[in-house]
Structure 1
Amino acid sequence: MTGRQLHLGYMYWANGTHPAGWRYPGAEHARAFDADYIVELARIAEAAKFDFFFFGDRLATGVEYEFTNTSVIARIEPFTTAAYLATLTSRIGLVVTANPTYSEPFNLARLTASLDHISHGRASWNIVTGADGRAADNYSRDEHGDANTRYDRADEFVAVVRALWDSWEDDAFIRDKESGAFVDGTKVHRLDHDGTAFQVRGPLNVARPPQGHPVILHAGTSDRSRDLGARDADVLFAAAATIEQGLAYRGDIRRRALGFGRNPDDLAVLPGLTPIVAETTERARRIYDELNALITLDDDLRFGGREPEHWAPADTIGRREDYGPGLRNLGALSQRLGYDATGHDLDHAVPAHAVDAFTPVGRQLAGAVERRTGRTVGGEHPATWRDLLYAHIVTGPLVVGSAAEVADYIEEWFRAGASDGFNIQSAFLVEQLHAFVDLVVPELQRRGLFRSDYSGTTLRDHLGLDRPANPWATAAADPTETPDTAAIAAGA
C-alpha cells in the first residue's frame, strides 16, 4: 500500500452511542464491566487492522446520562483494562484517557511508560482537561478551574511527562554480570523541574518506553485546545460535521503545528463517526428508524421537563424525575429550528414552506433527515416532525447506508483532506461493529484506502510516526553541543 494511508480507531462505548442503542433487540446492555466482552470487541477491531482501541473516561457521573448515552454513567478504569488487553492482543494500539487537572505528571508518566512496556509499544495517552465541574467534588478540590487555568496546567504537565519519559536514555542499562555494572549513571537524568504547577525532581523509575514517547491524543475545539493539540499531540479528534468544517479544522491544526516547528504530516486528524451499516440502504435506514422508535421522549412533548441540575439533592439521587432531560420535546426542537413546532403532531409531514423560516441549524437537521432516511421536507417521501425531533436528539456525525455508501463517505472526507481517517463508534453492539468490520473495511481495502495487514508492531508504526530521539542522547552525540538541561527538563 503506497501513498497517504487512512487511519481507523475504534472507541469503546459499552452500550453503543445511540441514546436507545442499548434497548435494540439483541444489543448488549449489561456487560460494561465484563472483561471477556471488552476483549471480544478489541479482538474484532484488531482482526480488522484498526490502528487503536480507545478508552474514554470521565471523573464524575450522574444518572441523567441515561437519556443521552448510558455508556458514560459508569465506566471501567482505562489503565487497568488496557493493561489486561495488552496481554490478550498483539498489534492494536491501546488508548487510555487521563486528565492532567486531576493527576500528577510523575504518576501519569509511570503509568503510560509501564503500559507501553507491557504492550510492547502500543500505548497511547488521550489528554482531556475535563468539562464536568463535578469532578472537583471527587478530588478534594474547591473548584474545577476555568479553561485557561486547566490548559496552563496541562501545558506544563505534558512537558514534564515528556521529560520524565526521556530521563533514562535507551542504553542506560548495562547489566554486565562480569563487571557488576548495572546502569550507566551518566545516562540517567534528573529533571529538577521547578514550574508554576509542578516541582518534579526525577528521574522516572521506569525505563524509557519502547516507543520513546507513547502516542499522544487530544480532542477539543477551543483556541487553547488547538494549540495543545498542534504542539503536543500525534492524533487529534475533531467534531467536524461537514467536509467544509473538517477542512477548516485540519487546515488550522496543520498551520499551528508548522508554527510550533513540527511537520504537519506527523499529526493525524480523526473525526468521530457512527456508521449504521447493513447489506442494503433500505435495511440500514430501517435500523436507524427502529433505533429512534426506542428513544424515550419527554412526557410533556411541547416543553419537556426540568433542565438537569448541577447535582440533585443527596436524598433524590437516582430518581428519574429529578433528571428530566428537557431536550426531547418539540419546544427544544423549536429553539434549534427557529420555528414553532410545538403545536404539530409528531407524525404529520413538515410543510415545504416551513424550511424557508428555519435557522441554518434547522436546515442542517432537515438535511440530516434526508441523508439518514431518504425522507425530505415537502418531498415524495415526506419528512415528519418526528424525524426532525430524532435528528435533533441523535447528535454527532452519523452516516446510514450500505457498505459502499459508508465507504463513499469516508473516502470523500479522506481524499478532500478533511480528515486522515475516523474514530469509529457503534450505534449499538455487537452487531454494528461486526457490520462495519465485515462490510465496510473490505470495501475500503478493495479501494486501496486501508491496510490489509499491519506493517509494524507499535502504534507509532501504524500511524507512520518515527520514534522520538532522546534529547539527552542527541546532545551527548555531538561533542560541540552542550546539553540544555533546563530546556530538556521543561520538555522543550
Structure 2
Amino acid sequence: MTGSHGRGLPHLAAALDQQGAHDSAPYEEAVRLAERGGLDFVTLGDTFAGPGPDALAVLSRLALGTRRIGLVPTVATPHTEPFRVPAAVTALDRVSRGRAGWHIGVSTTEGGARLSGRRHDAAARLWDSWEDGADSSMKGSSAVPRPPQGYPVRIVDATEGSARPVAARYADVALVRVADPAQAAAVRAELRSAVREFGRDPDRLRVLGSLHVDLGGGERAAAPGHGGGGPRQTAQGPLYRGGPVDLAELIADWHEAGAVDGFHLTPVEPLRDLERLVNGTVALLQHRGLFRTFYPGSTLREHLGLARAANRLGLPDPVWKG
C-alpha cells in the first residue's frame, strides 16, 4: 500500500439501505458507526415500489443524533413539483447544520438527462432566491433562508454516458460504477474535461468509485477476481468480495493511480459489512496515514474539501451545451 503523492486522502462514503427497515431506529447504529469511522457521508434511498423508508424523514431524525457525518438522501424530483424536494433537502441542511447532500437520479436517456438538468436549475434558483444573511425574500423566492452550505452537496451517478453532461455541469460528487481502475480513470478524465468546458474548476468535482462490498469471507477472498484480484462485474453492479485488508489495498491503489477520488460502498450485509469496513479497512488506512482520523470541519462540503457554494443571484446561468 503506497502513499497518495500529494493528491490528498481518499474520500469514503457508505450506503445505509437495509431491506425491510422502514423507520429511523434500525439506521441509528449504522450511522453512528460510520461517523465513528470518519466517513464523509452516508446515503439512503427511498423505496418507490411499495413500503420503505422516507429517506428525508429518516435522515432528518438521524441528524439529531450525529454531529459531523454527511447525510445524503436519494430522492426523485416530481415532474409537477420541482421545488418540493430541493426545499426538503434545504430543511435537512438546516437541521444538520450544513451536512446535507442530495443524490439525484438522472435518466439514462438523453431527454431524461436534459430534464434532470432543468431540475438542477430549478433547485439552484430556489437556493439562490435569498441573499446570504438577508432578512426578507425576493418576490417569488423560497420560504426559507439560503442553506448553510449555499447549496447542499449534489451527487449524480455518472456511470451512463448520458448522465455525464449533467454531472459535469452541476455535480459536486460523481459516482462511477465500474470494476476496473483503468475504466474508472478514463471516466474521471472525461468528467474533468467536461467540467472545464462548462466553465467550472475540475478540482471541485469529486469522482467516487461505487462498489458493493461483501466482507463476510474474513481475510480470504471467496472467488477469483475478488479480494486481491479486485471487484467483479455482476448484474447488480461491481462487487468486491473478500477481506477488509484487501479492500484497504484496493482503495489505496485506485486512489494512488488517480482512478478515483474515493469510494461509495454499499454493504451486502448492512451492519456486518459496515462494521468490518470501519473497524478493519478504515482502521488500517488510518494506521497507515491514508485516511483521516478526525473531521476537518463541520459541513459536508468541508469534509469533501469543497468551498461553500457561491450565490449566483443576478448572474446569468451557464449555457447548456448538451
CA shift in 2, pair 1:100/1:77, >3 Å: same
Provide the secondary structure at the position in 1 that maps to 2:83.
Answer: helix
Q: Does structure 1 residue 451 correspond to structure 2 residue 305? A: no
User: Equivalent residue for 1:423?
Assistant: 264
Secondary structure of 1:273's aligned partner: strand
Residue 107 of structure 1 corresponds to 84
Contact 1:278/1:403 (<8 A) preserved: no
TM-score by length of 1: 0.59
1:434 aligns with 2:288: no
Deviations 1:206-233 (A, max 9, x none): 1000001100000033333100001100
- Which among 82, 91, 102 is matched to residue 68 of structure 2? 91
Matching residue of 2:122: 160
Name the counterpart of 2:54.
Answer: 77
Q: Which residues of structure 1 form unaligned runs of 5+?
A: 16-29, 62-73, 132-146, 174-182, 191-201, 286-368, 376-390, 473-482
Cα deviation per residue 1:285-321 (whole Å; 9 max; x = unaligned)?
A: 3xxxxxxxxxxxxxxxxxxxxxxxxxxxxxxxxxxxx
Q: In structure 2, give the amino acid aligned to 1:128.
A: G
Q: Secondary structure at the match of 1:371?
A: coil
Cα distance in 2, alignment partners of residues 110 and 164 from structure 1: 8
Residue 124 of structure 1, CA deviation: 0.7
Q: Partners of 1:373 and 1:455 in 2: how far apart?
A: 31
- The whole-number CA distance in structure 2 between the counterparts of 1:466 and 1:172 is 20
Question: Could you report, residue by residue, the CA deviation over 1:334-391 in whole angstroms, capped at 9, with x for unpaired residues?
Answer: xxxxxxxxxxxxxxxxxxxxxxxxxxxxxxxxxxx4133899xxxxxxxxxxxxxxx7
Q: Distance in 2 between matches of 1:242 and 1:421?
A: 14
Tell me the matched-pair count. 314
CA–CA distance in 1 between the matches of 2:244 and 2:114?
A: 44
Distance in 2 (CA, whole Å) between partners of 1:259 and 1:205 is 34
Question: Tell me, what secondary structure is at the counterpart of 2:73?
Answer: strand
Q: 2:162 aligns with which of 199, 208, 224?
A: 224
Contact 1:98–1:127 (CA<8 Å) still a contact in 2?
A: yes
Q: Which amino acid counterpart does residue 115 of structure 2 have in structure 1?
A: R
Q: Which letter does structure 2 place at the counterpart of 1:157? A: R
Q: Which position in structure 2 is the counterpart of 1:148?
A: 110
Distance 2:255 2:242 in 1: 18
Letter aligned with residue 272 of structure 1: S
Matched, 1:11 2:15: yes
> Is residue 20 of structure 2 the alignment partner of residue 44 of structure 1?
no
Equivalent residue for 1:370? 224
Question: How far apart, in 2, do the equivalents of 1:411 and 1:161 lie?
Answer: 35
Q: Where is the helix percentage greater, Structure 1 or Structure 2?
A: 1
What is the DSSP-based 3-state SS (H/G/I as helix, E as strand, rest coil) of the residue aligned with 1:431?
helix
Q: How many angstroms apart in 1 are the aligned matches of 2:297 and 2:130?
A: 25
| 1:470 CA drift (Å) | 1.7
Q: Secondary structure at the match of 1:237?
A: strand
Paired residues of 2:227 and 2:240 also in contact (CA < 8 A): no
* Contact residue 10 and residue 424 of structure 1 kept, 8 A: yes
CA deviation after TM superposition for structure 1 residue 395, in Å: 4.6
Q: Is the 8 A contact 2:60 2:92 kept in 1?
A: yes
Query: What is the deviation of 1:400?
Result: 3.0
Q: Deviations over 1:218-266 (max 9, x none)?
A: 0033333100001100001101110111011111101100111111111
C-alpha contact 2:227 2:246 (8 A) present in aligned 1: no
Q: Which residue of 1 aligns with 2:173?
A: 235
Contact 2:227–2:247 (Cα < 8 Å) also in 1: no
**How much does 1:163 deviate?**
1.5
Name the CA shift for 1:262/1:393 in 2 (closer, same or farther; >3 Å): closer
1:56 is matched with: 45
Q: Which one of 131, 134, 140 corresponds to residue 169 of structure 1?
A: 131
Q: Does 1:189 align with 2:151?
A: no
* SS of match in other structure, 2:84: helix
Instruction: Compute the displacement of 1:154 (Å).
Output: 1.6
Structure 2 partner of 1:346: none
What amino acid is the match of 2:73?
V
The SS at the match of 1:471 is: coil
Match for 2:245: what amino acid? Answer: A
Cα distance in structure 2, aligned partners of 1:100 and 1:258: 27
Shift of 1:280: 5.0
- Displacement of 1:12: 1.8
CA 1:58–1:431 in structure 2 vs 1: closer, same or farther (change >3 Å)? closer
Q: Distance in 2 between matches of 1:128 and 1:275?
A: 22
Cα separation, 2, equivalents of 1:264 and 1:392 = 28
TM-score by length of 2: 0.89
Q: How does 1:257-406 map to 2 (within 5 A)?
A: 257-277=195-215, 281-282=219-220, 285=222, 369-372=223-226, 395-406=236-247
CA distance in 2, matches of 1:262, 1:252: 14
What are the superposed Cα offsets for residues 52-88 of structure 1, whole Å, 9 maximum, x if unpaired? 1101235336xxxxxxxxxxxx430111111111111
Consecutive unaligned residues in structure 2, runs of 5 or more: none
Measure, in 2, the Cα distance between the counterparts of 1:104 and 1:490. Answer: 24
